[in-house]
Chain A
Amino acid sequence: MSRSNEEKKHPPAGTSAVSILHLILLLLPGEPPPAVMARCVSCHGPAKQRGGLRLDSDSRALAGGDSGAALVPGKPADSAILRRVASAGNDRMPPSGSPLNPVEIKELTGWVSGLKPGAATGDSRPHWAFSTPVRAKPPGTTNPAQSANPVDAFIRGRLAAAGLEPSPPADKATLLRRLHLDLTGLPPSPAETEAFIRDPDPKAWEKRVDRLLASPRHAERWARHWLDTVRFAESHGFEMNQARPNAWPYRDWVIRSLLEDKPYDRFVMEQIAGDRLGAPEATGFLVGGPWDQVKSPDPALTAQQRADELADMAGTLGSAFLGLTLGCARCHGHKFDPITQADYHAITAALAGTRHGETALPASAAESPRLEAIRKERLAIEASVAPLESRLRPPVTHALNTEPLGPVMARFARMSITASSGAQPCIDEFEVIDQAGNNAARGARVSVSGTLPGIAIHQAVHLTDGRYGNDHSWIGNERDSGWLMVDLGKVVQVHEARWSRDRGGEERVFTDRVPTAYSIETSADGSDWKRVAGSANRLPKGRKVLSPKPGPPLSEAETARLVEAAAKLAELDAMEKKLTGGAKAYAGTFAEPGPLRRFHRGDPTQPREEVPPGTIRGLGQGGPFPPGLPEPERRLALARWIASPSNPLTARVIVNRLWQHHFGEGIVATPSDFGRNGAAPSHPELLDWLACELVANNWSPRSIHRLIVTSATYRQAGAMRPEAMTKDAGNRMLWRFAPRRLEAEAIRDGILAACGNLDLAMYGPGFDLFEPNSNYVKVYTPRKTFGPPQWRRMVYQAKPRMQLDDIFGAFDCPDAGQIAPRRSRSITPLQALALLNSPFMEQQAGIMADRLHREAADDGARVDLLFRLVNGRLPDAEEKSGALALVADAGLPALCRAVLNSSEWLFIR
């Protein structure tokens, strides 16, 4: 059964009279005056939050509403609330009923005058996680024989206070198996176990710890924990869920970072701004979430999709690094934590230049600086032409191109083409839109410069036949040039021309032969022509502008500058391609974003005031960035704020994650929510001590791992003790090492390792557990047969989003639709069926039997070897005689199947 819900605190169902009184007393000091409570709270209180504003406590009132601050503490004259209640206009508050009387206004004024700026939300005491960690002195221990590890001092201090004793150390074989499974996700070999048991060195444990922590196996195992935390997957999600074949470099970057014990502050910064720090693939973090591939001309849908992308980036950043549920502040001020809607938007503004995409990877570390120099030069060129480009229209497309025309009175319209993307130009439809929005050119007479001879589907008549697609198009007879002219039959007011090379509608869409240089002219009489549109004010192919700003047409000098810049950019692209060999990573792609506006109630169709980029006010040294900070600098500033020792959350959150994966439960049981609604720490002083220790050790995660696993607390036996259970059934005080079921990956990897099949090849594209297909909506059909290509560690599985592996998915594998900082550990009949009957297990049991045959001379020795390989011990008499009887009756594979299904094998204990 899962434990995901047990430790959470909830409002108790039956609250006692004493606690109610207590709550009332707690409420009073931070309460607004009766006038507010009586006149405002019905619309700005717990039931309703008009305008996103709550006025039922000082701190909520201070947090403000959707349109910003409702009041300025200590300054009633500057406070919107007092202006609004006194207003004679239609913005008066309350909007209905009598205005506030002078006594009420006086009360309100007195209240605002007396308020002090402070924590914005919740009760008035500061929340523990928002103040800087303090390095407490480990409690003194009375028994000098006890371990000198400070971790133990904190744990034992709390146990002693509760009248509990720690458990004795576990036996050596159990310990070594625990250490191997925990640090590397693989069981120790029989030889390793025996060597450890026989090792007389008093530092034998520490030696193993250091060796395993430096092992690539450790980096692979713990990379998976991080990948869960950041919802990493190798497909886009949503309905098409197509693969992201170049997403794996981010996974490799995580593994490499752990392997070199990269300082955690650097680890954080590279994920936010790795493009500026020599690790572009690390920004795969930002865009690791789902991405909706289904686009639509509906602007509301497009805006919603982009808002969802940014919400995913900001939300994951907040939860992974800060343990904050930032996403809660997307539509309204956070209900529990000091995060306003403006804070949320400040962080999204800092990330707003980020888009999903692919970025070039350096072929080797040596080339990284050169690649970096190319990137810098490109950014500089792009920045210098951005003001010009923002005045241009989007590049031509094979699909719909729209050309605003004025409006102008015309009977004739013609398009003259002087360049195309290759061969003779092709157009499938040419439309002229009149005042009523209708296509006046539908069915119109059309003449052309010439037509590619002999192809029925490419005739001039198709230009105005109302049918889209290559099968109903016109192709000219000259390379790179041609013209077409439509006669509307009478003079009408025309507003827009529309044309396309292939607007879709057929199975295959063609993107060649697109006119790239052209002009469009109109005429009322067929002799006097006026140029009304053309390609001159369109961007070159491949460029895009995020915030178009209409301006005067470009001058000749400006156009020349653009042409020069385009040539230089093409040159840089070629140089980059040479350096990278074309290798790509799914990662952030960045461009200067336009201004970001706050969305009222999170609704992108209701943009409000502009929000400058920044961090969370009142947290660490957070606040808006200096004005005018360009795109990459914004992300760097955000990264620096998070990866700073003065940020109260960053170090605490990561040491808690490390603790959680060692013990199965964090000091804070809600690892990605350190806010007021999260769980309280079981050992707050220890958490702070570890956080300070991490920073003091140059942010080395390995130093914290080492402290934890060399503690006596970690080395305790796992046995249940009834007297301790009565005091602390959930083991929050750590009076034992609580056994827990292994995760899916460790089960699969462990089976492959024990059977002798595990392929330890590291890095690179992953293996696929699904049959290949290329449908519009990708279909994931589980593989039925497995071979060596699928026998790598599971962290190298090309992991699709929302599609779990047929066999091991049943073991609570996260689907990467949402972050999964803490997996549930359920036990289900489907797991039993998968382990008993799946083709993978049948195959591995057979291979294990072959191995036993090869390596042991008789059935007795084979049974012994099986137990040593799987459980790290020899069978007892009953287990052995039963096993021999089973082998005699049903063969060795039947025995291997049973042992590989046993709970002893599937648990860390």
Chain B
Amino acid sequence: MSARGRFLLDRRAFLGEPAGGLAAIALASLARADAVVPYRPLIRPGEPASARPALFTPKANRALVIFCSGALSHLDSFDYKPELIRLDGQPMPGASGLVTFQGEQGALTRSPWDFRPRGQSGKMVSDLLPNLASMADEFCFLHGMTAKSNTHGPAENQMSTGFTLDGFPGMGCWVSYALGSPSRDLPAFVAIPDPRGGPQVGSNHWNSAFLPAMFQGVAFNAAKPLPHLAAPAGLNPMADRKSREYLRLLERKALARNPGDSELEARVASYEMAGRMQVAAAEAADLSRESAGTLRMYGADQADPVRAGFARNCILARRLLERGTRFVQLFNGAYAMGEGVGNWDGHKTLVKQYSVHAPILDQPAAALLADLKRTGLLDDTVVALVTEFGRMPTFQKEASGRDHNPAGFTVLLAGAGIRRGHSHGATDPFGHKAVEGVTTIYDLHATLLHLLGIDHERLSVYHNGIERRLTDVHGHVITGALA
């Protein structure tokens, strides 16, 4: 046998494949390191936002991500640590002189909120968020989560875009790029900012970055409607209508002069959708037809404008999901006011700060989940309650709060395809570092995309020399969290 022939055979043996077609294909794929075939959604110019099939049969047809800005402490909410209670006030073993984000660490400190068993599963959850705690049987708790950055900005970026740097498309943009929207009249991706303001990295969460602008999330909430939805005040409805009719005439003539111009067709389509969106988005954001009972259930009747405001945002989220919006990102917490004031960044006075923030999140978010379950939407909606990273089991030196901790935190999953009443992964006995079933934000993204029928390794777009993915070059579906 010739050297070349022997070599080919050796390679087949090396690949562990029978000689023949498969081995040959494997060889061909060796020719490129990025052998995964990128998935290119088929986007029709006239209907760029219309629904597209998933790569495989999805468990979930839509997604809701509740983002708790400022880093919600896993140790005071969902991650029960008896050792932390036992060693309260003692230095953390093996951590002397530990310097974290804001500086030196003091002693281990148990949560000021008691934990007790909840639901059928008996899951230990604290009293910080009693309404969410009562729904423990709905959740899969990912206790082994880790983040790459211990700074809010980069970490928020990573949780929503997969990258710690600025300039990458939000998760909802990727989903809207891949799947479009079942609704012809509403944006595929809506971001609902907190009544107190935007998250730390603002529109990074929903910017389309290098994806086309049509996949960018549209930000509005119950108090601040979608921009430019209503015709200008100075134009009466008749003038508005006639002016748009005349525009249609101009566009029809432009099309006649330039037959087959797909960009012109796309513009005509975009004005038609804008017209429908004006009606549909206004209707979706109009909560006046919601019953008094519903408003009460969510807490929208609260006197505190922030609590009522977040409750109204939760109702808006449900209305959008009902009406076919593919991806809703609901924000809890804002950063403009600074550390811990309007968000979960409890460095200095944990009890004081969380006592304010917890009731804002708890009742409305729990009501939203219950409502989704009641209406059956939860059967094909995947829900994630996320935050940028965890907090330390110690209090900061000379303070009564916890510093940043990207080495371990908790994410909650619920809804379509999720293993209910289950906990996946664990932190060490103090809740400092994830040690079991360790998962990354890449894994979380891979899992959410998987539930939506998307292979995270194939959903990519070419940008400056590389096929960019939501999961960069990482990520594994967290099968242990799936039903």
Residues of A within 8 A of B (CB): 1-2, 4-5, 8, 10-11, 13, 15, 17, 19-21, 23-24, 26-28, 31, 33-34, 37-38, 41, 46, 56, 231, 237-241, 290, 292, 294, 296-299, 301, 308, 319, 325, 328, 335-336, 436-437, 466-468, 505, 670, 672-673, 675, 677-678, 718-720, 722, 725, 739-741, 775-777, 779-780, 782, 801-804, 806-807, 810-812, 815-821, 824-834, 836-839, 841-842, 846, 876, 878-879, 882-883, 886, 889-891, 893-895, 897-899, 901-904, 906-907, 909
Contacts and interface: CB of A to CB of B under 8 A. Distances in A.
20 contacts: A38-B14, A239-B200, A240-B153, A297-B99, A301-B149, A437-B97, A720-B259, A725-B260, A775-B337, A776-B338, A804-B207, A817-B207, A828-B270, A830-B216, A832-B273, A842-B233, A879-B249, A879-B250, A898-B250, A909-B258
A725 to B, nearest CB: 7
Interface string B205-236: 00101111110101000000011111111111
Nearest to B239: A890
A739 B259 CA distance: 12
B167 A817 contact: yes
B234 A842 contact: yes
Contact of B232 (A4, A37, A298, A839): A839
The 6 A-B pairs of least Cβ separation, nearest first, read A817-B167, A239-B153, A325-B465, A818-B167, A817-B166, A890-B239
Contact of B239 (A231, A741, A891): A891
A720 B260 contact: yes
Contacts of A328: 465-466
Contacts of B234: 842, 846, 893
Contact of B243 (A2, A290, A777, A890): A890
A335 B465 CA distance: 11
Nearest to B48: A1
A308 to B, nearest CB: 7
Nearest to A719: B258
Contacts of A883: 246
Contact of B151 (A19, A239, A830, A903): A239
A319 B35 CA distance: 25
B239 A677 contact: no
Nearest to A45: B30
B352 interface: no
Contacts of B356: none
A449 to B, nearest CB: 27
Contacts of A902: 247, 250-251, 254
Interface residues of B, number: 113
Given A827-B267, A878-B253, A890-B239, A833 B278 contact: yes
Given A46-B30, A815-B207, A839-B232, 16 more contacts: A2-B214, A20-B24, A296-B150, A297-B102, A298-B101, A777-B200, A826-B213, A828-B270, A830-B187, A831-B270, A833-B278, A883-B246, A890-B242, A894-B240, A903-B254, A903-B267
Contact of A37 (B10, B37, B40): B10
B33 to A, nearest CB: 5
A895 B246 contact: yes
A672 B198 contact: no
A572 to B, nearest CB: 37
B201 to A, nearest CB: 6
Contacts of A21: 24
B235 A739 contact: no
Contacts of B264: 903
Nearest to B43: A1
A776 B247 CA distance: 45
A815 B38 contact: no
B346 to A, nearest CB: 15
B261 interface: yes
Interface centre among B154, B168, B261, B465 (most CB of A within 10 A): B465
B208 to A, nearest CB: 8
A906 B270 CA distance: 14
B231 A836 contact: yes
B120 interface: no
Given A37-B14, A815-B167, A815-B207, A239 B244 contact: no
Nearest to A811: B213
Nearest to A839: B232
A667 B246 CA distance: 39
A878 to B, nearest CB: 7
A673 B102 contact: no
B274 A1 contact: no
A802 B202 contact: yes
Contacts of A240: 153
Contacts of A27: 27, 30-31
A827 B48 contact: yes
Interface centre among A436, A806, A907 (most CB of B within 10 A): A907
B168 A818 contact: yes
A802 B273 contact: no
Contacts of B238: 889-890
A824 B266 CA distance: 15
Interface in B15-33: 24-25, 27-33
